[in-house]
């Protein structure tokens, strides 16, 4: 377990120069949250139990797709979308630069009340 986390941390550090070059555009329905990966499809999202949808896409800081089985007990700040059944559909693990982009809605109510600029990838509170 510790070896896996050290490997993941080392991979993230080595990829930092590449991460700076990746410009990701998040959809307007993407919310920000804290995720802890459990035994797939179980996760904890913002401190509450949740589930990954079948076919969930999880993207690391370099926008590469990764499988949830390699993330057991890992914690990340993410953007995520929810499907029609309330399951987590898409997950993007945030880079430090993306995490610094504030404000970003954490709830559907906030997302519906705020204004989104998809080109600048910024939200404006009313």
At 15 the pLDDT is: 54
The whole-model pTM stands at 0.81
Bridge partners of 88, per DSSP, are 52, 82
At 110 the pLDDT is: 96
Contact 51, 42 (CB under 8 A): yes
**Interval 8-31: pLDDT, tens:** 555 655 555 544 556 899 999 999
3-state secondary structure of 90: strand
User: What's the token pair of residue 119?
Assistant: 């080109």
Bridge partners of 43, per DSSP, are 37, 50
3-state secondary structure of 28: coil
Contact 76, 111 (CB under 8 A): no
**DSSP one-letter code for 95:** P
**Interval 93-110: pLDDT, tens:** 999 999 999 999 999 999
**Interval 30-78: pLDDT, tens:** 999 999 999 999 999 999 999 999 999 999 999 999 999 889 999 999 9
């Amino acid at each position: 377990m510790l070896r896996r986390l050290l490997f993941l941390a080392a991979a993230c550090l080595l990829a930092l120069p590449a991460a700076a070059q990746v410009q990701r555009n998040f959809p307007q329905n993407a919310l920000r949250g804290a995720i802890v990966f459990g035994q797939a499809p179980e996760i904890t999202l913002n401190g509450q139990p949740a589930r990954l949808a079948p076919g969930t896409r999880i993207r690391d800081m370099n926008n590469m797709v990764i499988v949830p089985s390699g993330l057991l007990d890992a914690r990340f700040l993410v953007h995520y979308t929810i499907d029609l059944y309330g399951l987590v559909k898409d997950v993007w693990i945030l880079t430090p630069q993306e995490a610094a982009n504030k404000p970003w809605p954490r709830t559907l109510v906030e997302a519906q009340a705020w204004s989104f600029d998809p080109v600048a990838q910024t939200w404006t509170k009313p």
